[in-house]
Structure 1
Amino acid sequence: MAKSKYVYTCNQCGYESTKWNGKCPSCGAWNSFEEELAEAPVGVRSSASSGSAPDLSDNILELEDIGADSDVRYDTGIGELNRVLGGGLVKGSLVLLGGEPGIGKSTLLLQICQFLGEEHSVLYVSGEESARQIKLRAQRLGVDTENLYILTATDAEAIAQTIASSAPDIAIIDSIQTMTISRIASSAGSITQVRECTNLFMHTAKNQEIPIIIVGHVNKDGAIAGPKVMEHIVDAVLYFEGERHQSYRILRAVKNRFGSTNEIGVFEMIDKGLREVDNPSQMLLEGRPHNVSGTCVACVMEGSRPILAEVQALAAKTSYSAPRRMVTGFDFNRLNIIIAVLEKRLGIFMGSLDVYLNIVGGFRLDEPAGDLPVAMALYSGIMDKQIDEQLVAFGEIGLGGEIRSVSHITHRIREAERMGFKTCVIPKQCMSAINAKDYDIEIIAASTLKQAFAAIK
């Protein structure tokens, strides 16, 4: 039987099959298979027998002989972006920037071109906009550097050759889903095209020691469109997050070979582009309600940065046979565990109550230290007892109702003190790591939920 010249590729994970499947057997995605032309098979000969493979013995280097200059990073001019990248843009690195449409990816890149263009040459390659459109956007953002060069093209091989020959200091590709390689029969944005174009730009960045930033679109699930292997190829993967109807944006690294993935950058979208938010805690606490039950302030660590965020909880009598549980910015399963602990250990029955939990400002509490403020907000909302507006809490909750210790206790208390809070509820085990006399804030040490709830008067 003749082999089919078509293959079906999953647009979520890149799995290939000779027939169409409703559900991908690799990643489990539904209706994700796309038809593509199969690449012509290439005969493989034994390298050892043919002797055609080159000997790379002369290219082997000792670790101590490899130079590691201190000047291996470019300052982008935006402190929040430098923080997420680990100190700046590394020479020869390939960075993938993803996010929802209109979130501000191209705006951020044009803004860093203004600063980088003062001392370095920048090549901005666009496959989506014309040069005139980029010029209009640059004028709106106040970008007028003479070292910014614009290229509108979609041929990845020609672009890679242009980067190698013109040798700019930094290159930006917007976006990878518009790039194509002519010898590949599939259309732009397909699994094969995205994978091979990314691989081509990776070799260009490494061979020429030129940092390249590529923009990636996201699919309806929020993941970067294209094969997952694309995220393995690049050196860093950055996600731009934020609600479309809110002005604040959060830049987060989910992969970084040259720095931590725990750091975040906070921006605000204004008329002139993106503005750095130097004090995220103040931003997240703006507009707090007064004399209202069901709110508590949490202090969580994002990398080396402590951030204060407001937790809001609402419990109301349900009109359904099964009570509703709705969460924004917090893990749904973790909330169910906290509710179970409150019912079992404190006798607070919530089987007839709808529970709604919200983290204000589009922020997300992923750290276990957010358990205690969530529990205190729930208790405050159910009992209709107001929590002092000058109180902040943090700690992990165990299944026995105990409050477990958390890390970076000093940084958290200092941030609460700096923001003007008067009371801080912390795990009792953390008292051995601090001296309460060193702080101008009342510290309440609690080992159980009952002791923590006693601070609510």
Structure 2
Amino acid sequence: MTRVKTKFICQECGLETAKWLGKCPGCGSWNTMIEERAVQKSVSLPLAGSVPVLLTEVECSGQERCQIGIPELDRVLGGGLVAGSLVLIGGDPGIGKSTLLLQTAALLGKSGQKTLYVSGEESAGQVKMRAERLGVVSKQLFLVSETNLDYIENFVRDIDPAFLIIDSVQTVFDPALTTAPGSVGQVRECTARLLRIAKGQNRTILLVGHVTKEGNLAGPRVLEHMVDTVLYLEGERHHAFRVLRAVKNRFGSTNEIGVFEMRERGLVQVTNPSQIFLAERPVGATGSLVVACMEGTRPILLEIQALVSGSAFGNPRRLATGLDLNRVLLMIAVLEKKIGLILNNQDVYLNVAGGVKIDEPAVDLGICLALASSFRNQAVDGELLVIGEVGLTGEVRAVNQVEKRILEGAKLGFKKCIVPANNLRYLAKELPLEVAGVNSVGEALEIALGG
């Protein structure tokens, strides 16, 4: 009797070994090596029409974009969906991935394009119930509940859709492999077959991907390298706002974000995020001020809230929500060393209102002023906007696109703005609000808190 050959595959990074190992030599994870049957790979044939041609003779007429009809989503994608592309959308459970793709499928169907929605987690009846609740029923939208990739390929061949949506890629399996759906081998092989469908048949495919408890996409890391675009839907479960962020995009910028609000009728795009995020801002509260950050080409105003209180323990707590904690610790050190604020016996809590995450250094000055405001129990002027990056010597460094940030603040009624002094030379002579340039954190404190 012929012995079945097996191999061991790490479920975190996809590394293959001939024997079991307690610790993966590739990623260092423990107890992630799972035994799988070794399947002889079939020889793949070239894609239809795949012959070497000169670059100047390549025709790209089929690569035009198709706008979905949701401007926030179209902007994140770089202007719309590109024909023949493979898009992966990830996010926490219940964040709204399936809702967003069902709304997308219905809009694509209403535009006259055939769309096939494959659900591996719900029945067709359950998807129909959700579609009726969202009000996104379309006559060109086909539904099927299937996880076998061979059957899915047959459906694609029979229906001939321009757009294919798989929800989710971890539930789809290749019957030629003996491993369970969702394993590293299954996810890798199924994505590879879907990639050949997208490129060989010029179909646009959108995949839903699960994430791990660390927030990374489940499956092998090669999954993100195989697809053309990777989008993350972020947000707090107890907040209504969702942020769609591109972390990889071969056809556009990775700096753009789309803001949505979760309502009873699904995800609704937010055309003016700054106004929404500042709608519930308290008046005259200490530790609260507004900063201007850039997300791609869009300026967004956000409220930073700080709370500094005496610590009852030897090691004071430092907690930041929506901000990089390491960056916050640097700002605390700058305030202690350069300004003289004694924070080594104070608990420090920072929060970005609305559940938004900021990773831009241009909010450093806002963090410093919010901490000083709470520590001194002195409120900052509610009509003041703060922009600036802070260095370790306490200097305020210039930031990019400062004029766009200022104009966004002027539209929302702000009267004064603190900016780095080096940015003043690049600003227009006439601005709709009063601009003050500062060279150090101390100068900014003098303006905002009077010293």
TM-score by length of 2: 0.94
Do 2:231 and 2:248's aligned partners in 1 also have CA atoms closer than 8 Å? yes
Output aligned runs, 1:37-76, within 5 Å: 37-40=36-39, 59-69=51-61, 72-76=64-68
> Residues 305 and 202 (structure 1 numbering): CA distance in 2 closer, same or farther, change over 3 Å?
same
- 1:384 equivalent among 363, 366, 377: 377
- State the one-letter code of the partner of 2:34: E
Task: Report 1:45-444 matches (<5 A).
Answer: 59-69=51-61, 72-118=64-110, 119-435=112-428, 437-444=429-436
Distance 1:349 1:132 in 2: 62
Once the two structures are TM-superposed, the CA of residue 207 in structure 1 deviates from its matched residue by 0.5
Letter in 1 for 2:437: A
- Report if aligned partners of 1:330, 1:366 keep a CA contact under 8 Å in 2: yes
Task: State the Cα deviation string for residues 318-338 of structure 1 (Å, max 9, x = none).
Answer: 111111111111111111111
Q: Which amino acid aligns with 1:127?
A: G
Distance 1:179 1:443, change over 3 A: same
Structure 2: distance between partners of 1:399 and 1:456: 20
1:452 aligns with 2:451: no
- Which amino acid is 2:315 matched to? A
C-alpha spacing 1:43/1:392, structure 2 compared with 1 (3 Å): closer
Q: Percent identity?
A: 47
Aligned-partner SS, 2:447:
coil
Shift, 1:346, TM fit: 1.3
1:180-204 CA distance string (max 9 Å, x none): 1111010011000000000100000
CA distance in 2, matches of 1:53, 1:241: 39
- Sort the Cα spacing of 1:53 and 1:319 in 2 relative to 1 into closer, same or farther, 3 A: closer
Counterpart of 2:386, as a letter, is A
Q: What corresponds to 1:35 in structure 2?
A: 34
Distance 2:254 2:7 in 1: 36
Following superposition, the deviation at residue 53 of structure 1 comes to: 9.8
Structure 1's 20 and 350: CA in aligned 2 closer, same or farther, altered over 3 A? farther
- Per the TM alignment, residue 71 of structure 1 is displaced from its structure 2 partner at its CA by 6.7
Q: 1:48 corresponds to which residue?
A: none
Deviation at 1:25, TM superposition (A): 2.8
Superimposed CA distance per residue, residues 358-403 of structure 1 (whole angstroms, 9 cap, x where no aligned partner): 1111111101101010011011111111100111111110111100
- Once residues 155 and 20 of structure 1 are traced to their aligned partners in structure 2, the CA distance between those partners, rounded to angstroms, is 29
Equivalents in 2 of 1:149, 1:58: separation in Å? 30
Letter in 2 for 1:12: E
Q: CA deviation at 1:41?
A: 5.2
Please report how far the alpha carbon of residue 129 of structure 1 lies from its aligned counterpart in structure 2 after TM superposition. 1.0
- Please list the CA deviations of residues 68-94 of structure 1 after superposition, one character each: whole Å capped at 9, or x if unmatched: 338711111111100100000110000
Q: CA deviation at 1:433?
A: 0.4
Letter in 2 for 1:368: P
Cα RMSD, aligned residues only: 2.2
Residue 26 of structure 2: aligned partner: 26
Deviations 1:290-328 (A, max 9, x none): 221111111000000000011111111111111111111
Cα offset, 1:151, TM superposition:
1.7
SS at match of 1:59: coil
Moved more, 108-117 or 372-381: 108-117
1:47 is matched with: none
Deviation at 1:10, TM superposition (A): 2.3
Distance change in 2, residues 1:9/1:84 (3 Å): same
Supply the distance in 2 between the matched residues of 1:19 and 1:447 (Cα, whole angstroms).
61
Following the alignment from structure 1 to structure 2, what is the Cα–Cα distance between the partners of residues 58 and 324? Answer: 60
| Counterpart-to-counterpart distance in 2, 1:343 and 1:426 | 22
Structure 2 match to 1:15: 15
Unaligned ranges ≥5, structure 1 = 45-51
2:392 is paired with a residue of what secondary structure?
Answer: coil
Shift >6 Å, 4+ stretches: none
Q: 1:95 to 1:42 in 2, by over 3 A?
A: closer
Contact 1:123-1:148 within 8 A present in 2 as well: yes
Q: Secondary structure at the match of 1:454?
A: helix
Structure 2 unaligned regions, length at least 5: none
Residues 70 and 206 of structure 1: CA distance in aligned 2, closer, same or farther (over 3 Å): closer
**Paired AA for residue 229 in structure 1:** V
Do the aligned partners of 2:169 and 2:187 also contact (CA within 8 Å) in 1?
Answer: yes
Matched to 1:222, the amino acid is: G
